């Protein structure tokens, strides 16, 4: 469907393509919903002797911290997904695979969360370094997959709602690149200076994403629609 007919709801191939995009969205919403809920499976009542539940629950604080961090990370990922695909009018095979890559890397977060929280709780210094590197690598992978998706959309303006400003997806791509650098930095910091510094970066990165996410655009658009 060319740019000339992109706003034509009754165009020849229109409804079918719209249904395809809608299934991409419902499938992705499902995967994000499952990932964000699977994170909680890492929180388990500790198997301890009688009378030691309170102590054991307090001791698994890294699991709670990891849960919060990863929850915010996945939530931001879903908000980014929503913000990106709200601007997409048509989806082809390539976009499907870019999207599947984002879901693939995001689905690794519960595993990485589990590794790092177990390492902080039970491991020695070497294990904690390993845990931090694993989480950082998954963070790098997630950033790379977003970078790919944003790059593709920045280069295929014909797939987008024609009111999306040309600079939107290049800006998003820059944001993903910053995330990539951030997680790479956290790996180095965690490896050379200590896992706790890396954990702080892991906590800050989703906050950064959340604050810089496309809210401003949306807000502006709400106030001055299609001007």
Question: Rule CB under 8 A: which of 194-213 touch its own copies?
Answer: 213
**CB contact at 8 A, 207 and 72:** yes
Residue 23 is a binding residue for its own copies (CB under 8 A): yes
Burial-class residue 171 by CB neighbours within 10 Å (0-12, 13-18, 19+).
Answer: middle
Residue 4 is a binding residue for its own copies (CB under 8 A): no
Of 97-105, 148-156, 181-189, 191-199, the segment contacting its own copies by CB under 8 A is 97-105
Residue 123 is a binding residue for its own copies (CB under 8 A): yes
- CA 102 vs CA 131, 143, 147: distances in Å: 22, 9, 9
Total residues binding its own copies (CB under 8 A): 72
Contacts of 167 (CB under 8 A, 6+ apart): none
Tell me how far apart the alpha carbons of residues 122 and 99 are, in angstroms, rounded to a whole number. 36
Residue 134 is a binding residue for its own copies (CB under 8 A): yes
Residue 188 is a binding residue for its own copies (CB under 8 A): no
Residue 38 is a binding residue for its own copies (CB under 8 A): yes
Of 76-84, 165-173, 177-185, 198-206, the segment contacting its own copies by CB under 8 A is 76-84
Residue 52 is a binding residue for its own copies (CB under 8 A): yes
């Amino acid at each position: 469907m060319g740019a000339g007919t992109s706003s034509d709801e009754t165009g020849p191939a229109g409804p079918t393509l719209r249904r395809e995009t809608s299934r991409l969205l419902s499938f992705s919403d499902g995967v994000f919903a499952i990932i964000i809920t699977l994170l909680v499976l890492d929180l388990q009542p500790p198997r301890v002797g009688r009378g030691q539940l309170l102590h054991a629950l307090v001791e698994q604080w890294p699991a709670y911290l990891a849960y919060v961090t990863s929850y915010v990370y996945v939530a931001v990922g879903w908000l980014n997904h929503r913000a990106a695909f709200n601007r997409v009018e048509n989806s082809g095979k390539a976009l499907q695979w870019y999207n599947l890559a984002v879901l693939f890397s995001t689905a690794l977060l519960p595993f990485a969360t589990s590794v790092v929280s177990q390492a902080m709780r039970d491991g020695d210094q070497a294990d904690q370094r390993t845990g931090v590197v694993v989480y950082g690598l998954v963070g790098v992978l997630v950033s790379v997959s977003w970078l790919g998706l944003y790059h593709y959309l920045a280069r295929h303006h014909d797939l987008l709602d024609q009111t999306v400003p040309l600079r939107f997806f290049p800006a998003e791509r820059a944001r993903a690149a910053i995330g990539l650098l951030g997680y790479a930095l956290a790996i180095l910091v965690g490896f050379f200076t200590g896992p706790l510094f890396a954990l702080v970066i892991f906590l800050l990165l989703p906050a950064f994403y959340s604050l810089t996410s496309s809210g401003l655009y949306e807000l502006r658009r709400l106030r001055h629609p299609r001007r």
